[in-house]
Chain A
Amino acid sequence: MQAVHTGTRPPRFSHRSPTIVALLVVWWVCCLVIAPFWGVASAQTTGSQPVFSIQAPPGLVGATRAAGPGPVANYFQPVEIRGPHGLQIAFADRNGFTEFHNLPVTVGLLVGRVYRLKVAGIPQAEGVELFPSLEVIDRLYPPPGQERHFPIIVELHPDDLRLATAGKYVTRVIYLEDPQQALPVAEGNSGQLWFEVRPDQDPLAVADALGRPLVIVRLGGRIPLPEEESDPAFLFGSPPLVVFPPKVKVLPGPPSRNSPATLPQPTPEGRRP
């Protein structure tokens, strides 16, 4: 006996619709679960997209390393800041900046935090102040008791200061050389060895290929207004740091040629100043 059809014709696969709906729901759930991991996995396997680049916001690379394995978090890594003669730096404080320190100065900085510096006494640019930032992204593991003797060396090059005062934005990544890939040349009097990369290259990736990146120095760019110097956002929250006493006594600079020659006046202790 033929079935009696009413009004509309039923779908052709109507008896399979629950199964299809169930399968679609399962497929959708699977996609929902797998999707967040798909991009990460593909990026890690292909390597086409680095995990971090120098374009990341300040603090992201170091905070990630601080959250990683090993005794990295909350470690004050000694950093020695060097610069040309006469250069002075101040560190971010609660309401601005501290007093100026002569270079070289050794400080202990937290890994993963960003520190705002104030640089004055720039050669051939008297009166100009720069506000570089310094981010420690990894630490050293010296033998116990040798921590202060082997700080990370951060040099503020005169050329960098000159470019920054001219309006350029200088990014410098200090890395630990791999002994197997180290250049067979001595450091000499010119200071630290360094390379220049093109603007389209990532200095963090280049430094990672040559060794282990440790510090990112960002210099130049916008100079804040006077009222912005105490802005916590500009100071990156003024994270704590440890100032170490200088290992050598910093002597005053040579007298100016224009100033008249004066005899040294004896001090009450009977010593020359």
Chain B
Amino acid sequence: MNGSVNRTDGETGMSPWLRLLLIAICTLIFCSCRTVSQDTAQVAGRPPLPSPDAKTAQLAANSVFNPVQQVAYSGGDVGSANSSTVGAAEASDRGSPLTVAAPSVPPPIQGPIYVDAQGNVLPRGTPPGVVTGAWTPPGIAGPWPQDEFLADGGDLPPFAGLAENGVTGINPEDTVARFQTADGKSRVQPFNRVFIYSPRFASVRQVAGLRANEQAEKVMGVSTPTHMARIEEVQSVGMGTQNYQARAGVQRRGLAIFQSGQRDGAVSQALGPRGFSDAFKPYENFSLIVKGQMVADEMPTLAQSVQAAVAWTADSQVQVVVDGRAASEEVGVSRVHSLYRVQSRYGESKLRLVKVASTATALPGETVDFTLRFDNVGTVPITDLLIIDNLSTRLEYVDGSSQASKAVEFSVQPNEAGSLTLQWRLTEPLPPGEGGIIRFQCRVR
């Protein structure tokens, strides 16, 4: 009897914690099922919560024409506006969401907005022929997307290393120098990177016909009640077999030896000391470039010249590996130039490398001048100095534009990026305290 009573309690009653749990769950369900209506959210001036579904629905609603959204751009009269710019602030004011379309609300701003020479918004109906002047967008803060810049210089991974008669690991955009110190060891050192703003556009096209949206329906199946009644066919022997003695084995083998003709792919040219023509160009008007002397006042301007995008300087720190021994960086001015020293028992080998560009922005088809400045700021001569600039895909070397203030052997070779690799090899040692300039031009593709 007791067991029956206990079972009955278990069917109809619950333990207190179960009741509390059910109450909490029901409360949670009822609270979560309450939704805020779209109109209420818009009247309150706030968009709905950014849940995936709600956000997509809102964006879809904004993407197409919506009369309510048109009222949202009814902030002011264009004809009476006298703002200096048509930028984010003004547009943001126009874009404040409103849902109540009162009769006194001015008509929405539609169609083009013309500005005059001072950037003032002209009344509607003004002929566009009298519209002059520039338009100033809202302020832009960095960092800028890197895909809008052309870079040249530095040493990207995999880093450059020593080879038997040159340098390996030269990637597109790399610019490095290889030299020999007084103790006979070779070093590889990169230049700084130079950024040029030069976006290039391309497009992808898709052509669809009117039949693109048609659906071809097919039948589910075909019932064929006919079948073969009988097969009666006698086939004769179609193949005879006869034993033959093999005379030789025939097989295909790959090429064991091949010969290739080495064509004149490289163009060598020797430039004497007088090969460097022209006066210094405006963008080279720095004591560091002209005289090889560091002037503190020029450092900010020089930094802008060598780094069009300063925001990316942190990603273009120079790296150098000297026979498994890292060279020590000299001072904290690596934003402008690369300076490394190698201490040996013969003295201190120090090579300073600077790279500047003539412009920070360029359109496709325009020409950009690059100047490389190298200085031996150590106490021992530097021999076998080889400077390599591996041009990027969109930089095309202008033939005959290479100039050098020292006697160099200049050569060009095609690289894997479809451009050229430029090499300058100094024919004479570089004494301490001396330096030189290499200048060349590239056309932006």
Q: Enumerate chain A interface residues (CB-CB to B < 8 A).
A: 1, 3-4, 10, 14-15, 17-19, 21-22, 25-26, 29, 32-33, 36-37, 40, 54, 57-60, 62-64, 67, 71, 73-76, 78, 91-94, 98-99, 101, 107-108, 110, 112, 114, 140-144, 146-150, 152-153, 155, 160, 163, 167-180, 182-187, 192-199, 201, 203, 206-207, 210-212, 214, 232-233, 235-245
Contact = CB atoms under 8 A, between A and B. Distances in A.
B132 to A, nearest CB: 5
A103 to B, nearest CB: 14
Interface residues of B, number: 96
A3 B4 contact: yes
Given A26-B25, A186-B396, A240-B111, A71 B70 contact: no
Given A174-B202, A192-B202, A243 B145 contact: no
Contacts of A33: 32
Nearest to A59: B63
B295 interface: no
Given A150-B199, A177-B202, A94 B63 contact: no
7 contacts: A4-B4, A167-B209, A170-B207, A182-B200, A186-B445, A196-B206, A245-B131
A63 B11 contact: no
Interface in B188-210: 197, 199-210
Contacts of A239: 73, 110
Interface of B: 1, 3-4, 7, 10-11, 14-15, 18, 21-22, 25, 28-29, 32, 51-53, 55, 59-60, 62-67, 69-70, 73, 86-88, 91-92, 94-95, 107-115, 128, 131-142, 144-145, 147-151, 172, 197, 199-210, 212, 308, 360-361, 363-365, 392-394, 396, 417-419, 443, 445
Given A29-B28, A93-B110, A207-B204, A75 B138 contact: yes
Nearest to A144: B140
B149 A172 contact: no
A174 B110 CA distance: 25
Contacts of B3: 3
Contact of B199 (A75, A176, A180): A176
A55 to B, nearest CB: 10
Interface centre among B29, B73, B128, B200 (most CB of A within 10 A): B200
A211 B148 CA distance: 10
Contact of B109 (A17, A143, A199, A240): A240
Contacts of B212: 169, 199
A192 B199 contact: no
